[in-house]
Amino acid sequence: MIYSLKLQAEAIIDLQEAFEWYENKSFGLGFEFIEEVQSGYEKICNHPQHYSAVNNRYRKLKINRFPYLIIFEIENADVIVVSILHTSKSKKIEKD
């Protein structure tokens, strides 16, 4: 079963901010970041239960090449991305 992907507003903002930071650091790097996140989306839509539980509600996927986690929850046939979180900030979600 392939799950539908939904992005919460906070996740979209997180993604935009990270894209801008990487793009300002090096032209094209922001687009490489987006490609890695999109690859992560495909993985979690195909096998969301495969990824580690953060707590009773959320799971996480570490994306390749960049220090970011995709934080998501599974609701029926949907994968809901709630945050694109820098790993230095990951302890916050574990307490929720």
pLDDT in tens, 12-49: 999 999 999 999 999 999 999 999 999 999 999 999 99
Which residues touch 63 (CB under 8 Å, ≥6 apart)?
36, 37, 39, 40, 69, 70
In this predicted structure, what is the pLDDT of residue 89?
75
- Hey, how many other C-beta atoms are within 10 angstroms of the C-beta on 84? 26
In this predicted structure, what is the pLDDT of residue 91?
54
Q: State which H helix or E strand residue 82 sits in.
A: strand 78-86
Q: Could you give all domains of the chain from N- to C-terminal order, each with its CATH number? A: 4-95 (3.30.2310.20)
Query: Rounded to an integer, what distance in angstroms lies between the CA atom of residue 49 and that of residue 74?
Result: 8
pLDDT in tens, 35-91: 999 999 999 999 999 999 999 999 999 999 999 999 999 999 999 999 999 998 755
In this predicted structure, what is the pLDDT of residue 46?
97
Residues 44 and 51: beta-carbon distance below 8 Å? yes
Query: Is pLDDT at 95 greater than 70 in this prediction?
Result: no
